[in-house]
């Protein structure tokens, strides 16, 4: 039995990695919105915070009515209850979204590592 799963390059407007990688502690998706595209709904979450990383392009997020402009290389973290919607600029936007249960992290990096 292998202790890893490798996924080859994927194409598409939204790639969800939960099932493809058998994730058990987070949901990760790679998303592409075309020029002037948008997520067509405002949403929040019951228990998952989200971290977004802008891979390419630019756009704006509206969180609780506040406009936040983001471009390549930017990160934004949104609490579960934050009402959010995403809009692409005229150049489009590609982003990585990581969802995890708020307050569930018990250790990280070296605190969780077993050397040897």
β-bridge mates for residue 96, sequence order: 30, 53
pLDDT band at 105 (very low <50, low <70, confident <90, very high): confident
112 lies in some domain: no
- Under the banding of pLDDT at 50, 70 and 90, the label for residue 107 is confident
Per-residue pLDDT for 108 more than 80?
A: no
pLDDT tens column, 16-73 = 999 999 999 999 999 999 999 999 999 999 999 999 999 999 999 999 999 999 999 9
Domain-embedded: residue 107 = no
CATH code, domain with 74: 2.60.120.10
**Percent of the residues in the chain that have a pLDDT greater than 90, as a whole number:** 84
- Residue 4 maps to a domain: no
CA distances from 34 to 59, 66, 67, 85, 104 (A): 11, 22, 19, 15, 34
Q: Please give the residue range of the domain that contains residue 78.
A: 14-102
Place of tokens 């992290």: 105
pLDDT score, position 53: 98
Phi, psi of 44 (to 5 degrees): -140, -175
Whole-model pTM: value is 0.90
Confidence of residue 75 (pLDDT cuts 50, 70, 90): very high
Look at residue 114 and tell me whether its pLDDT is greater than 90.
no
Looking at residue 116, what is its pLDDT? 83
Split into its structural domains, the chain has a count of 1
């Amino acid at each position: 039995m292998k202790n890893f799963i490798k996924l080859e390059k994927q194409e598409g407007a939204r790639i969800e990695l939960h099932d493809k990688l058998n994730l058990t502690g987070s949901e990760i998706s790679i998303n592409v919105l075309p020029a002037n595209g948008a997520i067509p709904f405002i949403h929040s979450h019951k228990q998952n915070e989200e971290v977004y990383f802008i891979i390419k392009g630019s756009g704006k997020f509206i969180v609780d009515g506040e406009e936040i402009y983001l471009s390549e290389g930017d990160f934004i973290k949104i609490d579960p209850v934050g009402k959010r919607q995403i809009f692409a600029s005229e150049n489009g936007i590609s982003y990585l979204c990581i969802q995890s249960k708020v307050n569930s992290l018990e250790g990280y990096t070296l605190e969780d590592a077993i050397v040897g």
